[in-house]
Amino acid sequence: MTVKKIAKKELARLLDEWSRQFSVLVPSVETGVAQMTGWQGEDTSFVDWYRNTILPPKDAILPVMEEMFSFSKNEDGYRLEMSPPDSGRQLIFGIRPCDARALAMLDVVFKQDYEDTYYMRRRLNTVLVGIGCTNPYDSCFCTSLSSGPSDTAGLDLMLTDIGDEFVIEAVTEAGRELLDKSQGMRPATADDEARARESRDIANQRVTQNVDVKKMPDRLLAAFDNEEYWRKIAAKCISCGICTLLCPTCYCFDINDEVSDNRGARYRSLDSCAFCIYTKMPVENPREEKWQRVRNRVCHKYEFYPRLFDTIACTGCGRCIRLCPVNWDITRTLNSIPGQ
């Protein structure tokens, strides 16, 4: 295993070095919203304020909206022109373990049966450099989902904060190669690694939110037809879609054509099962009532997806709890399923 360390004051130099090979994204609040934005070559203050972004980093792989192809019409008929995704190499620096784990879940969806070119081309050209959490939110519950603040699943490199330095661990072969080629790093000592283990242990202990996910698919299946329960759970939901649009594992999208005169383009844009028109068809809407939509969201994460892929489609990042305008809490729902 390749383990090195770097002083925090050297971080800007390292990001500059990497930016000569990749389009580097780092945590930023420049727009007023915490999100991943392009490295500008100066500000590394995020290492002090950064807990997690509001907008999940999945946007770098699965954009909120993207053009799939354009089309035009003349006297000879229609002409189609594909809009291939940007195939340039990118490096997401500072991604939290929960968001890296989420991308691993999306990978399964977008390469199952049919490989989605738009998603997979970006994904295969992306290096994920994580920073372990040292100060999880009260709403985080990653440790309930076989994960944690220092989980390396889906990452290429993992950084652990040990004070004035980061210990850097190579997780994948791509990460090892990048680490070996990077300048200005020193081998981590046994003391450094011991401090990193202590930092990880402390971070794990700071995750206090707990959810019992034992036999969750079976429990939800048993409660599926309990309309009274789901109406109660959904009572204060306002169907705004924040929980899904900010979720790192939600991937539902809609496809629309925008046309002007004889030209147009087809776009894919993220959608939300919280919206009342999400499943609306010409004849019916199978989830017309709010409680049905809330039930669908919970069951998709914790029943449907696990039955398909043998893992819960949630990483416990807590965004849907702390950013909900009416304080709807998924953990309370899961801990209150009837018949437990």
Whether residue 176 is found in the same domain as residue 57: yes
Does a structural domain hold residue 229? Answer: yes
Whether residue 245 is found in the same domain as residue 319: yes
Print pLDDT tens along the chain (340 aa): 679 999 999 999 999 999 999 999 999 998 889 999 999 988 899 999 999 999 999 999 999 999 999 999 888 888 999 888 777 899 999 999 999 999 999 999 999 888 999 999 999 999 999 999 999 999 999 999 999 999 999 999 999 999 999 999 999 999 999 999 999 899 999 999 999 999 999 999 999 999 999 899 999 999 999 999 999 999 999 999 999 999 999 999 999 999 988 899 999 999 999 998 888 877 777 888 999 999 999 999 999 999 999 999 999 999 999 999 999 999 999 999 987 5
Q: Which tokens go with 113? A: 């049966």
Does a structural domain hold residue 211? Answer: no
Q: Residue 185 corresponds to which amino acid?
A: M
Helix (H, G, I), strand (E, B) or coil at 122: helix
Whether residue 172 is found in the same domain as residue 101: yes
Phi–psi pair at 267, nearest 5 degrees: -120, 145
Let me know: does 178 contact 157? Beta carbons within 8 Å: yes
Is the alpha carbon torsion for 165, 166, 167, 173 positive or negative?
A: negative
Q: Is the pTM of this model over 0.85?
A: yes
C-alpha span between 175 and 154 (Å, rounded): 11
Q: Which tokens go with 55? A: 């907008």
Question: In terms of residue numbers, what domain contains 324?
Answer: 216-334
Whether residue 54 is found in the same domain as residue 175: yes
C-alpha span between 299 and 216 (Å, rounded): 9
Does a structural domain hold residue 120? Answer: yes
Let me know: does 24 contact 94? Beta carbons within 8 Å: no
Whether residue 76 is found in the same domain as residue 143: yes
Does a structural domain hold residue 340? Answer: no
Whether residue 200 is found in the same domain as residue 105: yes
Whether residue 178 is found in the same domain as residue 226: no
pLDDT of residue 1: 62
Whether residue 181 is found in the same domain as residue 230: no
Whether residue 188 is found in the same domain as residue 222: no
Distances (CA, A) of 161 to 33, 96, 132, 169, 228: 24, 13, 7, 12, 47
pLDDT of residue 340: 58
Whether residue 149 is found in the same domain as residue 246: no
Q: How many domains does the chain have?
A: 2
Let me know: does 139 contact 110? Beta carbons within 8 Å: no
